[in-house]
Chains A and B, each alone.
Chain A
Amino acid sequence: MNIIGITACTAGVAHTYMAQAAIQKAAEAMGHTCKIETQGAMGIENELEPDEIEQADIVIISTDVGLEGLERFDGKFVYETTVSECVSAPKKVLEEAIKLKAKENM
């Protein structure tokens, strides 16, 4: 599956990037392709390209703050969660999202 997402925490210096790394690692271990944009204190980094959004199956939004550019995901399957959830249990987050996505397709 193609998984994309955004992470953003309050201070935007540590948890944002830890959540990004955690999801990336977990997704790749499960055999998915994955790209995670970060909206930390430096602003948007590793920005999602329109074609990547087009091809994505699941969008993981992991945030403690308001985000920029959420309208890019209109019509996509979006799974919302918190940053701490992604840092501590990235695999669970992905499994949950995939399960919900499968339900939606039925």
Chain B
Amino acid sequence: MDKLGKDLLRALNTGISYFLPVIIAGGMLFAITIATGEIVDNEIVAANAFFESVLTIGQAGFAMMVPVLSGYIAYSIAGRPGLAPGFILGYVANNPIGTEQLSTGFIGAMIIGIAVGYFVQWMKSWNVHSVIKTVMPLIIIPVVTTFTIGVFYVYVLAKPLALLVVLLTKLLTSMNGVSSAVLGIGIGVMAAIDMGGPASKAATAFTLALMGEGIYGPNGAFRLCCAVPPLGLALSTFISRKKYSKEEQEFGISALFLSLAGITEGAIPFATKDFKRVLPAIVIGTSVSGLLAMLHSVESIVAFGGLLAAPAVTVNKFWYVADMLIGSLVIVFIMHFTRKDVEVS
């Protein structure tokens, strides 16, 4: 059981690891189109024909992201033969299918990726004649898996999964002040607690799944939160200069640049040196940012954070930047009062 959980976690991480560049490339092209054009009734209107094409390229990236996710989830479990059926069926999950035209997006694709992975792994264990063995990975595995899991998805999985997706969407769109505040704090804690590790990536997966359903608030909050730990610590090294060694002041400069792109990992050098002060500070500061961002309903449409992604913030750009700074200043404040001056040797 333990091994199964570990394999599944590894599979999801592999999927996310391969699809991040896809969604970042697509999302940034979206952001460029928005920055130059405008948004009318939640629709992006490009400035001219050139940006219209840029938008189309960006949309292609978004269309690819779900198949890449399910393909590489299957790949992690079953190796290369999992890729082809994973790609194809991920596309299926993301588009309306069957008599009821159901589509299950991100969540469906994750389930399909796992199903394909284990099905292919099982097929690989078949004891077949050596003549057939050579055509197994090229013909038999992709055809049989794609057909079997595909049909199983359309007739068995699609309906309950679609219901689940609708339920989740309803729950999150009808959220009131208190529950969105709690969600905001949760997002902040997950973004900061392991500085870009598995908890952050779990939050990434969650917010992306919601984006697939047209809910952009949690993504907005999470994306600004990602930048808070490195930004807060960088500002702290500039403001409370006496409390940091020369080496740490240099970390501060690189952390500042990493925060611009929302790369939380910039906080790690500080945490490795002074874990018991840095971690509480960044967790508290970032959850403040998360809380404010949810309350201000900041929305972002790209899976990419920091100040550089501000053009992609579709709702409440001002608060995106302001909430990021407020959380960072909380970190500066806590660090200032918990750290001692560095002794001059």
Residues of A whose CB lies within 8 Å of any CB of B are 9-15, 18, 41, 63-66, 83-84
State whether the Cβ of B198 lies closer than 8 Å to any Cβ in chain A. Answer: yes
DSSP class of A's interface residues: helix, strand, loop or mixed? loop
> Using a Cβ cutoff of 8 Å, how many contacts connect chains A and B?
48
Which A-B residue pairs are the 7 nearest by beta carbons? A66-B76, A14-B265, A65-B14, A66-B14, A10-B13, A10-B201, A65-B13
A-B contact pairs, 14 of them (CB 8 A): A9-B17, A10-B197, A11-B17, A13-B265, A41-B17, A41-B21, A63-B10, A64-B9, A64-B13, A64-B198, A65-B17, A66-B11, A66-B72, A83-B197
State whether the Cβ of B263 lies closer than 8 Å to any Cβ in chain A. Answer: yes
1-50 of chain B: CB within 8 A of chain A: 9-11, 13-14, 16-17, 20-21
200-239 of chain B: CB within 8 A of chain A: 201
B21 touches A65 (CB 8 A): no
* Distance between B74 CB and nearest chain A CB, rounded to angstroms: 10
150-199 of chain B: CB within 8 A of chain A: 194, 196-198
The residues of A that contact B194 with a CB separation of less than 8 Å are: 84
The residues of A that contact B10 with a CB separation of less than 8 Å are: 63-66
B76 touches A15 (CB 8 A): no
| B7 nearest in chain A by CB position | A66
State whether the Cβ of B268 lies closer than 8 Å to any Cβ in chain A. Answer: yes
B265 touches A65 (CB 8 A): no
* Distance between B301 CB and nearest chain A CB, rounded to angstroms: 20
The residues of A that contact B17 with a CB separation of less than 8 Å are: 9-12, 41, 65
State whether the Cβ of B75 lies closer than 8 Å to any Cβ in chain A. Answer: yes
* Bound-state Cα–Cα, A22 to B87, Å: 36
Known: A10-B16, A63-B10. A15 touches B75 (CB 8 A): no
The residues of A that contact B20 with a CB separation of less than 8 Å are: 11, 41
